Structure 1
Amino acid sequence: MNLTSRLGETAKKYYNKPAYIFNDTSSTYAELDGAVTKFACGLEKLGVKKGDHVALLLGNTPHFVISLYGALRLGATVIPINPIYTPDEIGYIVNNGDVKAIIALDLLVPLFEKMNAHLPKVEHIIVCETPQGASSDVNITNLSIYPKMKSFTSVVGSGDLSFVGPELMDDDVAVILYTSGTTGKPKGAMLTHKNLYSNARDIAEYLKITDQDRVITTLPMFHVFCLSVALNAPLMNGGTLLIVPKFSPKEIFRVAKENEATVFAGVPTMYNFLLQYPDGVAEDLKTLRLCISGGAAMPVALLKGFEQKFQVAISEGYGLSEASPVTCFNPLDRPRKPGSIGTSIVNVENKVVDENGEEVPVGQVGELIVRGPNVMIGYYKLPEESAFAIRDGWLYTGDLARMDEEGYFYIVDRKKDMIIVGGYNVYPREVEEVLYNHPEIVEVAVLGIPDANQGEAVNCYVVVKNQSITEEDLISYCREHLAKYKVPSKIEFLEELPKNTTGKILRRALKDKVLQK
Structure 2
Amino acid sequence: MQTLGEVLEQTRKRNPQGIAIELNEERLTYEQLSMRVKRVAQRLQSYGLTSHDIVALLLQNTPASIIGFLALAWSGIGTIPLDPNIPPSELQTIKQQIPFVALMGERNNLNHIEQIAASRQFIDIASILANDKTQFSETEELGPTSDARSTFLYHFTSGSTGAPKAALHSQGNLVNGGALYQQTYQITSTDTLFIPIPLYHSFGMIGGFVTALLSGARVILNKRFVPSQIVNTIAQQQVSLLFATPMIYDLVARCALRETPDLKTLRYCLSSGSALSTETIEKFQARFGKPIYSVYGCTEVGIIASRWNSAHNWPLQALGRPLQGNCIRIVDEDGIDQPANTRGMLLVQTPAMFSGYYQHPEATWNVFSDNWYITGDIAYVDEQGFLYLVGRKDTFINVGGKKVNPTEVEGVLQAHPKVREAIVFGQNAGSAGEYVQAVLVLREPATTDEIAAFCRQRLATYKVPSHIQVVDEFAKTSLGKIRRSYYSNNAETPEDMKHSLVGHQIRR
In structure 2, the residue matched to 1:124 is 121
Distance 1:390 1:280, change over 3 A: farther
Which letter maps to 1:127?
A: D
In structure 2, the residue matched to 1:15 is 16
In structure 1, the residue matched to 2:48 is 47
**1:440 positional shift:** 4.2
Distance 1:454 1:228, change over 3 A: same
Is the aligned partner of 1:153 residue 2:117? no
**1:304 positional shift:** 2.9
- Equivalents in 2 of 1:431, 1:284: separation in Å? 39
In structure 1, the residue matched to 2:503 is none
In structure 1, the residue matched to 2:355 is 377
In structure 2, the residue matched to 1:34 is 35
- Equivalents in 2 of 1:306, 1:419: separation in Å? 34
In structure 2, the residue matched to 1:113 is 115
**1:156 positional shift:** 5.0
Write the mapping of 1:29-428 to structure 2, written as runs, cut at 5 A.
29-106=30-107, 107-108=109-110, 111=113, 113=115, 124-128=121-125, 151-153=127-129, 157=133, 160=136, 162-181=140-159, 185-279=163-257, 282-283=260-261, 285-323=263-301, 325-332=302-309, 334-428=312-406
Which letter maps to 1:428?
A: P
In structure 1, which of residues 480, 489, 500 is the aligned counterpart of residue 457 of structure 2?
480
1:88 match: secondary structure: helix
1:351-382 deviation line (CA, Å, top 9, x unaligned): 12222222223222222111132111122233
Which letter maps to 1:505?
A: I
- TM-score (normalizing by structure 1): 0.86
- Equivalents in 2 of 1:402, 1:38: separation in Å? 50
- Equivalents in 2 of 1:338, 1:64: separation in Å? 38
2:37 match: secondary structure: helix
- Equivalents in 1 of 2:344, 2:269: separation in Å? 29
Distance 1:173 1:452, change over 3 A: closer
Distance 1:270 1:490, change over 3 A: farther
- Equivalents in 1 of 2:196, 2:78: separation in Å? 24
8 Å CA contact 1:299, 1:436 repeated in 2: no
1:347 match: secondary structure: coil
**1:394 positional shift:** 0.8
1:395 match: secondary structure: strand
1:99 match: secondary structure: coil
**1:177 positional shift:** 0.6
In structure 2, which of residues 405, 422, 426 is the aligned counterpart of residue 448 of structure 1?
426
1:42 match: secondary structure: helix
- TM-score (normalizing by structure 2): 0.88
Distance 1:243 1:116, change over 3 A: closer
**1:229 positional shift:** 0.8
2:490 match: secondary structure: helix
Counting aligned pairs with the same residue, the percent is 29
**1:250 positional shift:** 2.5
- Equivalents in 1 of 2:200, 2:133: separation in Å? 25
1:254-296 deviation line (CA, Å, top 9, x unaligned): 3222212222222222222222324386535443221112222
Distance 1:352 1:485, change over 3 A: same
Distance 1:440 1:273, change over 3 A: farther
- Equivalents in 1 of 2:78, 2:216: separation in Å? 24
- Equivalents in 2 of 1:297, 1:440: separation in Å? 20
Deviates more, 1:370-379 or 1:218-227: 370-379
**Which consecutive residues of structure 2, in runs of 5 or more, have no partner in the other structure?**
497-508
1:10-35 deviation line (CA, Å, top 9, x unaligned): 12222222212212432222111211
Distance 1:256 1:280, change over 3 A: farther
1:410-462 deviation line (CA, Å, top 9, x unaligned): 22222222222232222222222233334444333222233468533333333
In structure 2, the residue matched to 1:148 is none
Distance 1:58 1:337, change over 3 A: same
1:293-342 deviation line (CA, Å, top 9, x unaligned): 2222222333233323321111112111111x111112326333323221
2:491 match: secondary structure: helix
In structure 2, the residue matched to 1:496 is 473
Distance 1:248 1:478, change over 3 A: farther
Which letter maps to 1:395?
A: Y
Distance 1:115 1:58, change over 3 A: closer
**1:70 positional shift:** 1.2
**1:204 positional shift:** 1.0
Q: Tell me how large the CA RMSD over aligned residues is.
A: 2.7
In structure 1, the residue matched to 2:489 is 512
In structure 1, the residue matched to 2:499 is none
Which letter maps to 2:294?
A: E
1:85 match: secondary structure: coil
Which letter maps to 1:331?
A: W
**1:158 positional shift:** 5.5
1:227-256 deviation line (CA, Å, top 9, x unaligned): 111111122112211112233313312322
1:322 match: secondary structure: coil
- Equivalents in 2 of 1:278, 1:433: separation in Å? 28
Which letter maps to 2:465?
A: P
Number of residue equivalences = 489
- Equivalents in 2 of 1:431, 1:384: separation in Å? 32
**1:157 positional shift:** 4.0
- Equivalents in 1 of 2:112, 2:484: separation in Å? 32
